[in-house]
Every structure is written in C-alpha cells, then in structure tokens.
Structure 1
Amino acid sequence: MSNWIESLVAGIVLGIILGIFLPVGFAVLCFPVYVIFFGLSLQPFLDFMMEDGTWRFVLTFCYFLFLYGFFFGVLAVAGGENQ
C-alpha cells in the first residue's frame, strides 16, 4: 500500500516539475513565431493574459500543474503495479 502512495506522490512531484518546465520550453520554441507576428513587444501577450486580471494566468498555470501532476501520478502508479 505504501508503494502505491509513494508512486503517486513521486508522479505528482514529477508532474509539477514538468508542468513548470514544459510550458517554458514550449514558449521558447514559439517565441520566434511570436516575434514574426507581433515584433519584440510583449504587450499583446500581456493584454491577453491580464484581460480578466491576473486570474487567467494563475488559473491556467494551476490547471496545467494539476493536469501534469495527475497524469504522471497515474502513470507512476500504473508502472508500479506492473512490476
């Protein structure tokens, strides 16, 4: 039983770490396309994110952390069950 819990916690921690680094990597890859369309100004992006205040950014960030954490938690438990 404790192995199941350890796998879930490890998967959630891994998911949170990837939830931080994968969007950052995606943003770095998309940055040249963004520059082509909008130039070096971050104002269109900031206007979109802050349209409803900072809540849109915070909720999106928390949602991705939860999604990655849950997904990798389930994968870790499934992998632990097969061993």
Structure 2
Amino acid sequence: MKVYGWQGRRAECPTNHRQTREIVAAKSQAAAARAAGYDYQRQLFNFCETGNRQEIEAAMSKPGTVLWRPLDDRTGPFTEAAELPEP
C-alpha cells in the first residue's frame, strides 16, 4: 500500500481559495483516484506518491479514506473527507 497526494478544492475548507492537500492510502494510483471520486485517466498526472512522514502516518491510519487539510496549513491535522470534492 502506498500513500498518494494531490491538490484539491473543498467548499468546507476555511481558506479563501478552498484549496486543499488531499491524501489517501491505496494500492495504486487508480485506486486512489477512485477513492477520491475522480476519473483515473483525467487525474493521472495529479496524483503522486508522497514521501512526507506526517502524510504517510495519517493516511496509513485510515487506508482507503480520503483525508484533507487546507493547502496553506502544513502542520495541522488532516480531516476525513465527508463528501466527494467539487467538480
């Protein structure tokens, strides 16, 4: 299992631009895209494997669950995604 990350947008994000850092522990990029509700072919280049220890620990604690935090908050906790992201 690997941890994949990408930049997303969420209405519930408290920052002005609603940009988020999103992560998920999955067996493949395709599985990560499906967990996030994205079309794998469209998102192929947006998902990358992360080496960030904080992200890996958070995602591996809940495999298959998309977690997010505001993009400009590099140290805060990740929140479990309640809904699929905005289109």
Fold conserved between structures, TM > 0.5: no
TM-score per shorter chain, which class?
Answer: under 0.3
Q: Which has the higher helix share?
A: 1
Q: Please, what TM-score do these two structures have when normalized by structure 1?
A: 0.23
Structure holding more strand per residue: 2
| Bigger Rg, structure 1 or 2 | 1
